Amino acid sequence: MAEVHITARALSALLGRWRTDDAAYRSLADRIRLLILDGRIPADTRLPAERDLAERLDVSRTTVTAAYRELRDSDFLESTRGSGSVAQLPGARPGPGPTAGSGYLDFSKAALPAVDQITGAAQRAAARLTHYLDDFDYDTMGLPELRAAIADRYIDAGLPTSPDEIMVTLGAQHAIGLIARTHLSRGDRAVIEHPTYPHAHDALRIAGARLVPVAVTAADGWDTDELEQAIDRSSPTIAYLMPDFHNPTGATMTTDARRRVCRAAARQGTVLVIDETTAELDIDSGIPFLPFAASDDAGAKILTVGSFGKTVWGGIRLGWIRAERGVIRKLVSARTASDLGTPILEQLTALELLPEMPEILLARRHQLGATRDRVEQLLAERLPQWEVPHVSGGLAAWVGLGAPVSSQLALAARSQGLLIAAGPRFGIDGAFERFLRIPITYPVADTELAIDALASAWRSIMRAPVPDSALLAGVV
């Protein structure tokens, strides 16, 4: 039986203005399918009963029954006695288009492949493991030598840090979730960028936060006045920000804006949760990375989140939190309610990789630059009506489509063998139908296939364009 269920009311809110010119049941099935693909309805979630959803949407039960049937036929729902209709993701299957015969090309993640050095580092780590078998098992804080090495990197970047100001975590998402659980009570306000990293948004909502969105654009970044006023007026408990190569826009916050944010946070007692997982993925400037906390001249409370996932490999599942000692002790005490520590072998592997980080980051910059340049070239040739920002670093381009059809495009791309997240996955309540995040993290050959699939999908939906009024911010 599914452990999670979504009510008819909650599903209705996610669906927004789901009706199109297509048959009602097909429109409904398409919208639910997209919610499952984007992860806004997680796999194994039980959907509302047909009668309840029909009443909520003010449609006939026949419409909902037909929509659920279509979703079952396409393997997005499984119906079992006693569990109702349960969401699922179908297994990758060969599809038409550029990836026929090899399954879907998955561009829903902005993540780099593993670095070449990781195999050798893992082998060296395994050879060192015997020295830790008697002393370390459930490690909730992190190996002292790894925490010292991470602290040294902050010192080298201009921010004095001691090892006891570092806690090693199971990746950045684990760190964000732990911070949210220990710092937020239900109903507390949390400032969040809009658009934003969707899993951070999910973690804050699960913790019961009332979100205060602040706009970020690829062209202009943050409106510093708006951000400062949002902190001053709402007195949020937390502000979650990604100031370097923001995901998904690629924007980077100015030094003046950082200082103003720190002063506003200090005035209101707001905890700044600074996500620096992409901060070292510079492509163009060549300016050494300066941690956000180094800009603080007001004594703001800053918790910095870092990770090896975006620079080394997502499969290593290792991150960290930098914070004052008392906060670290609080986080360590709270951690055992959900997990009992970070694996030792992964920590030793990270320790082996840290001396090689300058070489790793240089290779990443070249890799990201080559793919970014090819994406810009291909989109200019194939989809010249799209607005493509020139990103100077990070993992993706936040592309303006010129029409509110991102959800339709994501569905059409799937029929071409491409999985890609629709713009609303990065927004609140269905915003960003006019945008699409295109990762620049995949090999150039795969990226060319993805752009071909997007161009074909675009042509297919533009044969019957949707008027602007049909798909506004309420659409998923």
Which CATH number fits the domain that encloses residue 73? 1.10.10.10
Both 396 and 337 in a single domain? no
CATH number reported for the structural domain that contains residue 449 in this entry: 3.90.1150.10
Instruction: State how many domains the chain has.
Output: 3
**What is the percentage of the chain residues whose pLDDT exceeds 90?**
73
Q: Which of 330, 357, 384 is the last residue of a domain?
A: 357
Last residue of a domain, one of 314, 329, 357: 357
Cβ count near 96 (within 10 Å): 11
Residues 66 and 41 in one domain: yes
- What is residue 472's predicted lDDT score, i.e. its pLDDT? 32
Give the pLDDT of residue 3. 56
Whether residues 252 and 369 share a domain: the answer is no
Residue 97 inside a domain? The answer is no
Q: Are 287 and 369 part of one and the same domain?
A: no
Dihedral sign for Cα atoms in the order 218, 15, 18, 29? positive
Q: Tens digit of pLDDT for each residue in 401-426? A: 999 899 889 989 988 999 999 998 99
Instruction: Say if 95 falls within a structural domain.
Output: no
Average pLDDT over residues 202-225: 94
The neighbour count for residue 147, using CB atoms within 10 Å, is 23
CATH code assigned at 250: 3.40.640.10
pLDDT of residue 204 exceeding 80, the answer is: yes
86 φ, ψ (degrees, to nearest 5): -115, 130
The reply to whether 303 and 174 lie within a common domain is yes
Residue 231 lies in a domain: yes
pLDDT at residue 2, as a whole number: 43
Answer yes or no: is pLDDT of 471 > 60: no
User: In this structure, which amino acid lies at residue 87?
Assistant: A
Would 267 be classed as within a structural domain? Answer: yes
Q: What is the per-residue pLDDT across 76-130, written as a single tens digit (0 to 9) for each?
A: 898 876 678 999 877 533 333 344 344 789 999 999 999 999 999 999 999 999 9
Mark whether 168 and 19 lie in a shared domain. no
Strands 238-241 and 4-5: unpaired
Terminal Cα-to-Cα distance of the chain (whole angstroms): 27
- Cα 415 to chain centroid distance, Å, stands at 24
Closest CA to 311 of 245, 240, 388, 219: 245
Residue 279, judged by CB atoms within 10 A of its CB (0-12, 13-18, 19+), counts as: buried
Domain residues for the domain of 293 are: 118-357
* Contacts with 44 (C-beta within 8 Å, 6 or more apart), sequence order: 2, 3, 4, 86, 87, 88
Rounded to two decimals, the pTM is: 0.82
With the CA atoms of 153, 155, 156 and 157 taken in that order, what torsion angle do they form, in degrees rounded to the nearest 10? 90
In a domain, 100, yes or no: no
Q: What is the DSSP letter of 395?
A: S
Radius of gyration (C-alpha) of the chain in whole angstroms: 23
Residues 392 and 417 both lie in one domain: yes
Tell me the C-alpha distance between 372 and 441, whole Å: 8
257 CB-near residues (< 8 Å, 6+ apart): 221, 222, 224, 227, 243
Query: 204 and 287 share a domain?
Result: yes
* Confidence band of 357 (pLDDT split at 50, 70, 90): very high
CA distance 402 to 400: 6
Calculate what percentage of the chain has a pLDDT beyond 70: 93
Q: To 10 degrees, what angle do helices 344-353 and 144-156 make?
A: 30
For 112, residues 6+ apart whose C-beta sits below 8 A from its C-beta are 310, 311, 313, 314, 364, 367, 368, 395, 441
Q: How many angstroms separate the CA atoms of 355 and 121, rounded?
A: 11
Looking at the fold, whether 317 and 342 belong to one and the same domain comes out as: yes
User: Do the beta carbons of residue 408 and residue 471 sit within 8 Å?
Assistant: yes
Q: Give the side-chain half-sphere CA count within 13 A for 351.
A: 22
212 in the same domain as 81 = no
Q: Are 47 and 68 in contact (CB under 8 A)?
A: yes
pLDDT-derived band at 49 (thresholds 50, 70, 90) equals very high
Type of residue numbered 368: L
Task: Tell me if 17 is assigned to some domain.
Answer: yes
In a domain, 475, yes or no: no
CA distances from 300 to 158, 191, 290, 321, 471 (A): 17, 15, 17, 16, 41
Assess whether 188 and 319 both reside in one domain: yes
Residue 98 belongs to some domain of the structure: no
125-175 residue pLDDT tens: 999 999 888 876 788 999 999 999 999 999 999 999 999 999 999 999 999
Does residue 176 sit in the same domain as residue 305?
Answer: yes
